[in-house]
Amino acid sequence: MSQPTVGFLIILYFLAIFCFGAFETTFGLLVTPLGYDEKNVGYLIAFCGLITALVQGVIGRLVKKFGNAASFL
């Protein structure tokens, strides 16, 4: 924490994890008025996880194949 860059990255990582945890916790409360029950909320969160995994896998392969965006500029 004595180095400003490391401290900033630790705080940023904590905030990202905290916000994602808050999203998962409050998501069910937010969609309940729309008529979703526990089963549907589970399906939605699983769908979000599958899409995240798919995007990370596809983006990783595309970067390996074509390089990152900085190489195109």
Report pLDDT digits (tens) over 23-69.
888 988 999 899 999 999 999 989 988 998 998 888 888 888 887 76
- Token duo for residue 15: 């905030």
Residue 25 and residue 18: Cα distance in Å, rounded?
Answer: 10
**pTM summary value:** 0.60
Q: Would you say 44 and 27 are in contact if contact means Cβ atoms under 8 Å apart?
A: yes
Domain residue spans in the chain? Answer: 4-72
- Please give the sequence-ordered ranges of beta strands (E in DSSP) within 1-73, or none if there are none: none
Cα angle: 13, vertex 21, 28; to 5 degrees: 155
